[in-house]
A and B are shown apart, each in its own frame.
Chain A
Amino acid sequence: MPTDWTVRAITRAMLPVLLALTLVEIGSGLVLGGFEAELLSSPSLLVLVPVTIGTAGTLGSMLAARLSTSFHLGTLSLSPDDDVLVGNALATVGLSVTVFPVIGVGAWLLAAVTTGTTLPLVRVYAVAQVSGLALAVLAVAVTVGATAAAYRFELDPDDVVIPVVTNVCDVLGVVVLFLSVRLLV
């Protein structure tokens, strides 16, 4: 049943999920607040924050959208030898390995030009690369888990999986960045 185009109907459909997701994101904000001192003393790490969150969310939502379409077309089976599943998972890792080095070097260069840097380039590159690889693996796991759950509970993956995956990947983006910074900086 599609939502009527009134402010009240749209709000009723959207607001509960929106507020729940906002609480989830406050959780990721608390993680961010937990290494505020490191972030404020190293501008290149602060530059990494939105791009890491955004890229993790985009990787997850793209995979979710593709799996959801295959799911509707009936060409997806959630088994480890399924060609569509394995091919899309490999593409997610491939995309991450392609863009995260650009993100690391880009963040360092932009920080160097605008505010100055305190960390060496190779350190920021390593944080981005390690975070990217971990996030690609996590994005695959979360998306496959959410798609399987939607299938089991007979929910439309378009309505449920994409917003859940995007926001969970946002949070994982911050947590993974936090762990990489603790490990490597």
Chain B
Amino acid sequence: MSVRAVAVEAYREGLPALAASVLGGLLAGVVLGGMRGDFARVDGLLVLVPALLATRGNVYGSLGARLATGLHQGLVAPRVRGDSRLYRAVAAALANGLLASAFAAVAATLVLAGLARPVAPLPVLVAIALLAGLLSGVVLSLSVVVVVFAGYRRGYNPDTLVGPIVTTAGDVFGVAFLLLSVRLVLAVAGGG
């Protein structure tokens, strides 16, 4: 193939997935734009944002890739009920997502304290990260499983579905549940 043919094909194949991630990113940005007050109240929260969003992509992207491979190999059937392999894969994703979220909160607190930059109390940041990780994890696991199985049954290659879905849903749910978690934790902690 000529350079031109390669470039045109790559561009055509890439544009829909990129458009989906742009849409998800802009929606996430709107929620983030509405959280300016929260960032001002909880020092260090903004530093956590890239780590929390990337964890969603890394963990649930990996879950999607695992399910896609499992379907191709006949290890899992595209049914939600009664498959202990599927339950274990989802449980592992949730557990790893929660561990990475808590780890991010602890690491951010330590680094900010080390740099003598202002940072909220560790329990507040850990509680926010865990709650946001749990809520977005449940919703993202469901989305990945439903979309990969439904796509597979309709004859789509699940590998090409996973990337755009996880990026788009991960950004939107990641930020939306972060907002909810901050407000809940601050309310419980006595108004911050």
Contact = CB atoms under 8 A, between A and B. Distances in A.
B32 A30 contact: no
A62 B11 CA distance: 10
B175 to A, nearest CB: 7
Residue from A5, A26, A50, A167 having most chain B Cβ neighbours under 10 A? A50
Interface residues of B, number: 70
Nearest to B53: A50
A26 B107 contact: yes
A51 B5 CA distance: 29
A66 B41 CA distance: 43
Contacts of B66: 3, 5, 10
B55 interface: yes
Contacts of B154: none
A61 B22 CA distance: 14
Taking chain A's interface residues, is the majority helix, strand, or loop, or is none over half, making it mixed?
helix
B19 interface: yes
A178 to B, nearest CB: 12
Contact of B29 (A11, A51, A57): A51
Contacts of A32: 46-47, 49-50
A25 B104 contact: yes
Given A15-B99, A87-B10, A58 B21 contact: yes
Contact of B10 (A30, A91, A115): A91
Given A40-B36, A88-B6, A90-B7, A26 B88 contact: no
Interface of A: 2-3, 5-7, 10-11, 14-15, 18-19, 21-23, 25-26, 28-30, 32-33, 36, 39-40, 43-44, 46-55, 57-59, 61-62, 65-66, 83-84, 86-88, 90-92, 94-95, 98-99, 102-103, 106-107, 110-111, 114-115, 163, 166-167, 170-171, 174
21 contacts: A6-B92, A14-B62, A19-B103, A22-B100, A26-B107, A29-B51, A30-B47, A33-B112, A43-B36, A46-B32, A46-B36, A47-B33, A50-B25, A54-B21, A58-B17, A83-B2, A87-B7, A90-B7, A91-B7, A99-B22, A167-B54
Given A33-B47, A99-B18, A106-B26, 16 more contacts: A11-B96, A14-B62, A19-B99, A23-B107, A25-B104, A32-B50, A43-B36, A55-B21, A58-B18, A62-B17, A66-B10, A87-B1, A90-B3, A95-B11, A102-B22, A166-B58
Interface of B: 1-11, 14-15, 17-19, 21-22, 24-26, 28-30, 32-34, 36, 39-40, 44, 46-51, 53-55, 57-59, 62, 66, 69-70, 75, 85, 88-89, 91-93, 95-96, 99-100, 103-104, 107-108, 111-112, 115, 117, 163, 167, 171, 175
